[in-house]
Structure 1
Amino acid sequence: MTGPGVPTRGWIPYAGLLVVFWGVWGAISALPTKLYAYPDPMVYVVWALTMLVPAWFSLRGKKFDRGRVAAGYGLLIGLTGAGGQLLLFKALTIGPAYVIFPIVALSPAVTVLLAFAALRERLGGWSWAGVLLALVAVVLFSVSTGDGGDSGWLYLVLAVLVCVAWGVQAFFMRKAALAGVDDASTFGWMTISGLLLIPVAVLMMGGLPLGFPWQAPALTAGTQLLNSVGALFLVMAMSRGKASIVAPVTNALAPVLTIVLSLVLFGAAPTGFQIAGIVLALAGSTLMVYRAERTTEPVPGSVAGAAP
C-alpha cells in the first residue's frame, strides 16, 4: 500500500541509474577535448542542446508554469547551474576528474551556510562537522596540486566556483519548492537558461569552430546526454523517494564512481593528500546533505541539491 507520505522503493532503480549515468559521465566527459582538442565552450553548447531531450520527457503531459515566481526562481536556478557547467567543462580540460568532482560534491556546504544565514535555519552538529570536513578537504586539495604553473591552481579555483554556483542553485531550488514550483517546470526553466548562455559560449570561442572531425561533436553529444538524462533520473528518483536518502546518493556515490572509473580507465595515481581530500569531501558532503534534508524535507518531487 502506497500513498502520500508512505515511503516506497520505487526510487531505487532511478537513483541507481542516476549514479551510473553521472558517474560515467564525470569520468569520460573530458574525452572530446583530450582526443580532438574540441573547445570546452563548444562542449557546453552541445550539453545545452542535449538538455532538450530530458526536458521534453519531463514536461510531456504536464503544464509548464510561466508565472513570475516560477520564471524568477527557474532562471536563477538555471543560470547558476548552467554557469557552473560552463566553468566545469573548462576545469575538466586542465585538471583530473577524480579531484574536481569531489570538490564539486561539496556544494551542500554552500547551501547549508546560505540556509543558516538567509533562512535562519538551525544547524546541528552533523552540519557543522560536514562544513569543517569540507574546508579541510579544500585545503588538502590546494596543497596537493604539484602540477606547477598556473593551471594547477586554475582548475582548483574553477572547481570551487562550480561548487559555489551549484550550492547557490540548490538554495534557490529549496526556496522554489517551498514556493510551490513543480519540478517539471523548474527543469524546463533550467533548460531554457542553459540555451540562453549558448551565445556566451560562442563569444568565448570567437564564433562557431570549424574543421573538427564528426567524431568530436558526436562523442560530445554522447557524453553530455549522460549528464542531461542523469538529471531527469534525479527528478524521477526525488519524486518517488525521501530526499534524505536520494540526496546523499547523488552527492556522494556518483563522484565515487567517477573517481574509480578515472583511476581504472586512465591509470591516474592520486597523491596521499588528494586521497585524504577525496575521502573528507565525500564524507562532508554526505553529512551536510543528510542533516539538511532531515531538517527541511523538500516538497515531494523537488530536485533540491541537483545540477544537470
Structure 2
Amino acid sequence: MDWPRAIKGFKTYLKLERSLAANSIEAYTRDLEKLYQYAESLPAQPTPIKFTLTDLRNFITWVNELGMIPSTQSRILSGIKAFYKYLLMEDLISADPSELLETPKITRKLPDTLSIHEINKMIAAIDLSKPEGGRNKAMLEVMYGCGLRVSELTELRLSNLYLDPEIEFIKVTGKGSKERLVPIGGEAIKALMIWIEQIRVHVPIQKGEEDLVFLNRRGKRLSRVYVFMLIKQLAEITGIKKSISPHTFRHSFATHLVEGGADLRAVQEMLGHESITTTEIYTHLDREYLKSTIIEFHPRN
C-alpha cells in the first residue's frame, strides 16, 4: 500500500469509525504527511507497511531536529500511533511498530489567567453605544461565565439556549462533535437577552445563519479571528500586559472555580474534558494561588 492510499483510508476511518471533527482529521492528516515526507527522504523510501520501530524512532529524532517543541512532537506521535492502529485493524500489518515509541516528556506551562477584577475591567471597556457593543459584552460574559472554547462560542445556537429561570443551561458542541450542558449565570443571561431581543433583531440575517447566536453586522457568523482581535484590543485599552487570548477566559473560568472550592469532576464536565488529567492542571494553578496567598498574608512571612 502506498502513502496516498494509506492516508486517504486513514482519513475515512477517522471520519466514519471515530467520528472526529473536520479540524481533528485535518490535524491528524497533516502530522501523517510529515511521516510521508520523511519516508520520501530516505534512500529506500519505505511504504507505510514497511516502516519499522527504528524508522519511527529516527523520524522522531528528525522532527526534534526541525526544532519542534515537545508538545508538538507528542501530538505528531499520537497521530502516528492512531495511524498504525488503523493499519492493524485493517490487517494491513501484523504488528504495530509504533507500540514501543516513547512520548517526549512535556513540561506543562501554566497558562496566564485573568483576575475577576481584570475580567470586569475588560467587559467595562466595551463601548455599549455601538451596535456591536451589546454583542461583544454578551460574548465575553458567556465565554467567561460558561468556560467556552472560542469555536463553541461562535457556533452557539439559539435553539440550544435554555434560559428559563428554572433551567438556565446552554447546550454546547465541543471537540469531536460531543455535546454537553453547561450552566449559565445571571450576568451572562442578562447580556445575552439584551443582544438577542434588542440588537440582533435589527440585523439582516443571511440564509442558513438564522439559528446562530452571534452574528456580524452583515448577518453572518463571526470568525474566531474576530474574537481573538477583540480580546487583544480590550487588553490594550485596559492596560493588561499578560499574554491573553479567548482561551484565557476559559482558563480563568476554571481557575476561579477551583479556587472557590469547586469539585474537579464538576469542572471537568463543564469544560468538556475527556480526561480528568487535563483538568488537573487547574489544581496546580490553585496551589500557586494558595502559596502566594500564604506568602502575602502569613504573619511570619
Relative to the length of structure 2, the TM-score reads: 0.25
Instruction: From the CA coordinates, give the structure whose radius of gyration is larger.
Output: 2
Greater fraction of residues in helix: 1
Of the two structures, which has the highest relative contact order with CA contacts closer than 8 Å and spacing of 6 or more?
A: 1
